[in-house]
Amino acid sequence: MQIVKGSSLIKKVTTRSDHSTDIVLNVGEIAPQELWYLFSFGWKSVYFLIGEQPINESNMPDIKDVIDKDTWQKSQSQRLRNVLYVYRKKKMKDKYKEFDNYYTIAMWRIIDRFKEELN
């Protein structure tokens, strides 16, 4: 497993309507191999540690003690359903009064889009 480590400045922290948090980091120069590796993580879930002191093996906590079990026990389908719920609430509430109707239609559209890409 490759790890990218270094120091950075936390430039911005914002909360989102789905209760997630955006963190913008201002990182100094990164070697091209590490930059490529970071780009490969686009739209993927990753683990990270943030501390005021350099983190190394001697002061790194056990990952089981750090992870919020409720967050990581959600399946991908539960996470997608939650995102669709917030999206309908913000963008489609007038068009779809009932979430279950919207969810069914949205899932069919998502499935059909991927099926079309297979052809």
| DSSP-based three-state secondary structure for 24 | strand
pLDDT value of position 12: 93
Relative orientation angle of helices 99-118 and 76-87, to the nearest 10 degrees: 120
Greater model confidence, 31 or 112: 112
What dihedral do alpha carbons 20, 72, 56, 5 form, nearest 10°? Answer: -50
Answer yes or no: pTM beyond 0.85.
no
Q: Where are the domains of the chain?
A: 8-66, 76-118
Counting residues of the chain whose pLDDT is more than 70, the rounded percentage is 87
Residue 11 clears pLDDT 80, i.e. is over it: yes
